């Protein structure tokens, strides 16, 4: 796949994701200019000092005029308002994407915004194209100061396709994510994305938070239990340290699928509990063996890739 080229890429929201994206775009030399849009001058200064962007601005109009790619990289809950404010200034045919961890609810809002906006325009005007992205990269750290040129290196990126998504734009966006380091770009529906993310990422966060809060409850009766929480507990709950406000957005914008994933885990726990309490050793061993074999294979395939 040929590397795409852009005249002006706008990164709207310059935290860990946006800052790292700027570094990777500049390294890949796929844009004439990288413009950072932020709400605070300090962020622009920090992004400039880290060479994440070529130019910075606090003005939405100034940022997006003439851009051929806009990446919405701020918090999910602010994304629709930011997009709404951009619409009047976007160059026709501009490609817009985001980096959020949940898709169906957000994209639904965004598609409606674009449709409403389009109705006010002349039919012949070329509509800006929005395609949702979810590059599965991140860290427990946040903010532009934590940004790294290799954040997207080797990551999986999911792109959301609808029946209306123009193929040329989709290909161009695929090329973009490959160029900034993603190992693989997968095209899926928003629903599939949210189902998979619920089970593979959001549920583990809910569980890790639950385990930590359960330990806190118990430690109120006797805090000696805290010393007993060793490596296994630390590994299992590591993700719970992640940004509460970011995770609130995620949990609140993928409610239905996360609810289902919790239900399924509850049934698994019921089953394990029954096998334990009813001394069904052979069946319990099978559960443990299946999980162990799979988990060892998972570790090996990660090392091998």
Binding of a second copy by 169 (CB under 8 A)? no
Out of 35, 40, 208, 220, the residue judged to bind a second copy by CB under 8 A: 208
**Spatial distance between the Cα atoms of 258 and 274, rounded to a whole number of angstroms:** 24
Binding of a second copy by 220 (CB under 8 A)? no
Site for a second copy in 130-159 (CB under 8 A): 136, 156, 158
Binding of a second copy by 211 (CB under 8 A)? yes
Site for a second copy in 22-41 (CB under 8 A): none
How many of the chain's residues bind a second copy (CB under 8 A)?
87
Question: In terms of CB distance, is 61 or 216 closer to a second copy?
Answer: 216
Binding of a second copy by 65 (CB under 8 A)? no
Binding of a second copy by 272 (CB under 8 A)? yes
Task: Identify whether the C-beta of residue 103 lies closer than 8 Å to the C-beta of residue 160.
Answer: yes
Question: In terms of CB distance, is 67 or 209 closer to a second copy?
Answer: 209
Out of 31, 118, 239, 303, the residue judged to bind a second copy by CB under 8 A: 239
Output the CA torsion 73→108→136→173 (10° steps): -70
Site for a second copy in 86-125 (CB under 8 A): none
Question: In terms of CB distance, is 122 or 304 closer to a second copy?
Answer: 304
Binding of a second copy by 174 (CB under 8 A)? no
Out of 88, 143, 166, 210, the residue judged to bind a second copy by CB under 8 A: 210
**Spatial distance between the Cα atoms of 71 and 305, rounded to a whole number of angstroms:** 29
Question: In terms of CB distance, is 88 or 259 closer to a second copy?
Answer: 259
**Spatial distance between the Cα atoms of 14 and 29, rounded to a whole number of angstroms:** 19
Question: In terms of CB distance, is 17 or 64 closer to a second copy?
Answer: 17
Q: Specify the stretch interacting with a second copy by CB under 8 A; choose among 19-27, 41-49, 86-94, 266-274.
A: 266-274
- What's the closest the beta carbon of residue 147 comes to a second copy, in angstroms? 18
Out of 163, 263, 303, 304, the residue judged to bind a second copy by CB under 8 A: 263
- What's the closest the beta carbon of residue 116 comes to a second copy, in angstroms? 24
Q: Specify the stretch interacting with a second copy by CB under 8 A; choose among 31-39, 47-55, 79-87, 276-284.
A: 276-284
């Amino acid at each position: 796949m040929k590397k795409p080229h852009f005249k002006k890429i706008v990164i709207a929201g310059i935290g860990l994701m946006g800052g790292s994206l700027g570094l990777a775009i500049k390294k890949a030399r796929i844009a004439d200019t990288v413009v950072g849009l932020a709400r605070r001058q300090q962020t622009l200064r920090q992004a400039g000092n880290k060479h994440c962007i070529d130019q910075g601005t606090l003005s939405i109009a100034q940022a997006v005029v003439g851009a051929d790619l806009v990446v919405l990289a701020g918090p999910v809950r602010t994304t629709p308002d930011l997009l709404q404010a951009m619409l009047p200034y976007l160059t026709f045919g501009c490609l817009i994407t985001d980096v959020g961890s949940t898709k169906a609810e957000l994209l639904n809002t965004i598609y409606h915004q674009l449709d409403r906006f389009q109705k006010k325009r002349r039919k012949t005007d070329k509509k800006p194209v929005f395609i949702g992205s979810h590059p599965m990269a991140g860290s427990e750290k946040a903010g532009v100061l934590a940004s790294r040129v290799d954040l997207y290196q080797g990551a999986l990126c999911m792109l959301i396709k609808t029946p209306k998504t123009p193929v040329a734009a989709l290909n161009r966006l695929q090329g973009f994510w490959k160029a900034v380091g993603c190992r693989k770009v997968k095209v899926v529906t928003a629903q599939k994305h949210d189902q998979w993310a619920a089970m593979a990422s959001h549920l583990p966060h809910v569980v890790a938070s639950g385990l930590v809060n359960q330990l806190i409850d118990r430690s109120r009766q006797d805090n000696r239990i805290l010393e007993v929480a060793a490596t296994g507990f630390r590994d299992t709950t590591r993700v719970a340290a992640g940004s509460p406000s970011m995770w609130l957005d995620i949990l609140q914008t993928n409610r239905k699928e996360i609810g289902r994933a919790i239900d399924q885990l509850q049934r698994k726990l019921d089953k394990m509990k029954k096998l334990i309490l009813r001394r069904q050793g052979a069946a319990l061993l099978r559960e443990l063996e299946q999980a162990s074999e799979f988990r060892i294979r998972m570790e090996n395939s990660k090392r091998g890739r």
